[in-house]
């Protein structure tokens, strides 16, 4: 399998309410609002995350964002009003902080060691 782009989705109860939280999380509005049910952010040259309104499936998703400076990221989140949990070691691989969006989806923010 030769994958050239990742477009990962999270189910939410309400696109607009969830998009407001993700705008604060990511520090910017969605890059694309293709319809009334979806919002998408391109996070890297070959990776995006999107929200899709699907109340029956909302809140069961998991996504991990890898950052180069976890402390700076958490400071930015605090400045934008996003509460963060404790920072935990990820074995010898690095550190992470797990957030929960308003629907219950888990967003892990990870800084890899070295």
Tens of pLDDT, residues 32-76:
999 999 999 999 999 999 999 999 999 999 999 999 999 999 999
Residues in the chain: 114
Residue extents of the structural domains in the chain:
6-112
pLDDT at residue 114 is higher than 80: no
Domain 6-112 part of CATH 3.10.180.10 = yes
* Separation CA 75–CA 81 (nearest Å): 10
Given pLDDT bands bounded at 50, 70 and 90, which one contains residue 81?
Answer: very high
């Amino acid at each position: 399998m030769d994958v050239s782009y990742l477009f990962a989705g999270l189910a939410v109860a309400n696109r607009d309410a969830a998009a407001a939280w993700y705008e604060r999380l990511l520090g910017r509005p969605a890059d694309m609002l293709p319809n009334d049910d979806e919002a998408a952010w391109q996070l890297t040259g070959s990776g995006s995350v999107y929200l899709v309104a699907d109340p029956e499936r909302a809140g069961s998703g998991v996504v991990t964002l890898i950052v180069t400076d976890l402390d700076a990221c958490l400071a930015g989140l605090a400045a934008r009003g996003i509460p963060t949990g404790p920072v935990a070691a990820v074995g010898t691989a690095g550190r992470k902080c797990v957030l929960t969006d308003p629907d219950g989806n888990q967003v892990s923010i990870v800084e890899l060691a070295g």
